[in-house]
Chains A and B, each alone.
Chain A
Amino acid sequence: MYKALIFKEWLKIRWAYAAMTLLSLLAVTYVALNMAYYNEFMTAKGFWGNVILLGFPFYTELEYIPVLAGIIIAIVQFAPETNDSRLKLTLHLPVEENKLLLQMISFGFVLLLVLFILLTFLLWIIIGIYFPSEVILYVLKIWLPWSIAGLAVYFLTSAIIVEPIWISRLIMIPFALGFIDVFFDIFNHTAQLILFLTILSLFSSTLVLFSGYHFKRGIK
């Protein structure tokens, strides 16, 4: 049953996932080309000075990639289910409904996680061409909240789409936006702050259960 469900999810997601992977690769390539350009035109020591002493952000093209990926995956995975109330059929399969929803959402989560880890790895490599580890770690520290935001936005968007009551949807949206905004508002964060935000993001995966509960009960 689980295998079949995963296969069904994969069928829904695969093209969007491929597109997001492609887009991410393009963005990383763009950053890499930009770095080569700066290295040539600012000269290496000029580029180093700008980045190390002035914090020149040469990586901003990647800022919203995880959030975009999170939203797109959530839409292609859950929008078709809710449009024709197909989710109702799914929820009546002989599997416990919460387990089912959690399986669906964990599948999307794992795919996104793989994509973000890949991006982190690529970022590591391209920065490492021009800069020592201190700069790599500095950029990855800035990148970390952006990618966690991608996971959080996936969970929240899923919950918003599955939610059948329009007014409840409208209530969820501003708080979801506020939560995501936090990730783009922080800089030079402490470990405890990022840990808290990560835990809260991971727990927000259960919000889809609350929406799913409304869905199954047909509360409108």
Chain B
Amino acid sequence: MLIKSSRVLYLLLIVFVASIFIPKYYWMKFEKNIRSQLVFFSPLKKDFLIRGDNTSTFSYFDKAGHLYDRAAFETLMPLLNYRQLTLEGKLPDSLNSTPLIIEKIRINNITLKIYPSEIDYKPIQLYPMFESKSGRVQLEMPNDYFRITQRLEFIDCATNAIDEKKTMLFTNALSSNNFSFPAKIIAGNPTSKKAFDQGYFIVDTKNNLFHVKMVKGKPFCVNAKVPEDLDIIYMKIMEMPLKEFYGLIINKRSEVFLISYDHYKLIKLPLEGYDHKKHIISFMGDLFYRTFSLIGTNSIHTIVTDRNYIVVDQYRAKWKGNDELNAGMVSSYIFPFTLKLGDDYSSLSNFYFKISSPHAFIGSFILSIITFFILRNRNISLKKGWFDIVLVLITGIFGFIAVSLVKNVDKNLE
């Protein structure tokens, strides 16, 4: 019995390893690099310009199917390409009767992306608190990092000890603003390579959102007064010279908000159909428009709004993914399922189990019949070998590899 269980375990180990590695090697050979479309909105034409998946040439098309070369594209997207156009002396003086001033174009241009894998990523819960008004041109990394437990503790890098004085100063500031310790989410932009510092946005245990930073050595703490049922799961904070919003909030229901500089007023973005587990948000902004693209594996949904976030135009497209190409069709017949331990849409190593379409069962069925004959050849009765057949029926090629490689326990010798 023990020997038999040991063999079963061996089979399962082979199935586990095979279901990870065989599809992995298969896709290393056959996977096509399918790129997402890039979608732009021309403030000149007031229409979309799309760059297809063929990225070796600079070719753009619009919804009507007209093709544009690189130079034409740059002329139609003067705000995105203002540096190139300035170099060529082609930048218009004004657009939509607004004068084009380079400094203004520059600070109004925004590009940022939010990936699903950054949303479920939990960094080490230690953060540097910058001095946001140091009077210096450049920000400097502080000599301590903070954590939030039942207080806001500063730990000195050189001594690895808690700075009690600073800790009390900040803890008292938070407590007097009714911060309920510890923190659920701490979000900031912990780099000294930014123009200025806005500190951190922190969600406490009662779902209040606080803005915390250090100004001339003193704590700055403001309750942003967001609704309690906002259910924030992620915040992306970025200091931008535009100073229109501190960053973005994503909540459990995949709603996206901007935290505006105007008394932390939340601006809900009109991103219908966004799923934070499946879509990348690409956010491009210029003097006139905001372009949000929700990029899935085989689809894109682009929403253009004006500067008041009122929808102006939308674009949707789908294309064939690897699963729908020949290699994908073949794989769905060969592999009844595949197992991955990592995923592009998550930062976590976990079981990413994918069951193929039902017709993989045909392959498994044929393989289990072959297994039946293999077992007969090995003089194993159905009563003794049923597990092998069931294993092949469920796990298809992976089980078949295991059963055909590992001999059965010989009943005569047992």
Contact = CB atoms under 8 A, between A and B. Distances in A.
Interface of A: 44-49, 52-53, 98, 128-132, 134-135, 138, 168, 171, 175, 178-179, 182, 185-190, 192-193, 196, 200, 203-204, 206-207, 209-210, 213, 217
Contacts of B191: 53
B17 A175 contact: yes
Interface string B105-132: 0000000000000000101111010000
A175 B13 contact: yes
A128 B351 CA distance: 32
Contact of A48 (B145, B341, B347, B348): B145
B14 interface: yes
Given A45-B141, A182-B20, 19 more contacts: A45-B158, A48-B157, A49-B128, A53-B128, A128-B160, A132-B126, A132-B147, A135-B124, A175-B13, A175-B18, A178-B20, A186-B349, A187-B342, A189-B349, A190-B348, A192-B350, A193-B351, A209-B6, A210-B7
Contacts of A131: 160
A210 B143 CA distance: 58
B163 to A, nearest CB: 12
A52 B350 CA distance: 23
B9 A207 contact: yes
Contact of A210 (B10, B12, B158, B349): B10
Contacts, number: 110
24 contacts: A44-B158, A46-B141, A49-B141, A52-B126, A98-B2, A128-B160, A131-B160, A134-B124, A135-B126, A168-B406, A175-B13, A175-B17, A179-B16, A182-B20, A185-B342, A188-B348, A190-B349, A193-B349, A196-B351, A206-B6, A207-B13, A209-B2, A209-B3, A217-B413
Contact of A182 (B141, B143, B158, B341): B341
B71 interface: no
Interface centre among B5, B6, B9, B20 (most CB of A within 10 A): B6
A48 to B, nearest CB: 5
B147 A134 contact: yes
B87 interface: no
Contacts of A196: 351
Interface string B1-33: 011011101101110111011000000000000
List 5 A-B pairs, minimum CB-CB distance, nearest first.
Answer: A186-B349, A178-B17, A44-B157, A189-B349, A44-B158
Given A49-B128, A209-B6, A129 B349 contact: no
Contact of B342 (A132, A186, A213): A186
Interface of B: 2-3, 5-7, 9-10, 12-14, 16-18, 20-21, 121, 123-126, 128, 141-143, 145, 147, 155, 157-158, 160, 190-191, 341-342, 347-351, 405-407, 409-410, 413
A179 B126 contact: no
A147 B158 CA distance: 31
B126 A190 contact: no
A189 B160 contact: no
A171 B401 CA distance: 11
B124 A52 contact: yes
Contacts of B143: 44-45
Contacts of A203: 9
Contact of A189 (B12, B20, B142, B348): B348
A206 B405 CA distance: 18
Contacts of A132: 126, 145, 147, 155, 160
A168 B406 CA distance: 8
Contacts of B126: 48, 52, 132, 134-135
Nearest to A177: B17
Interface centre among B3, B121, B143, B406 (most CB of A within 10 A): B3
Contacts of B21: 178
A186 B141 contact: no
Contacts of B405: 171
A48 B157 CA distance: 7
Contacts of B157: 44-45, 47-48
B13 to A, nearest CB: 6
A71 B141 CA distance: 45
B119 to A, nearest CB: 13
A151 B198 CA distance: 48
A149 B348 CA distance: 19
Nearest to A46: B141
Nearest to B7: A210
B197 to A, nearest CB: 15
A159 to B, nearest CB: 8
A135 B155 CA distance: 12
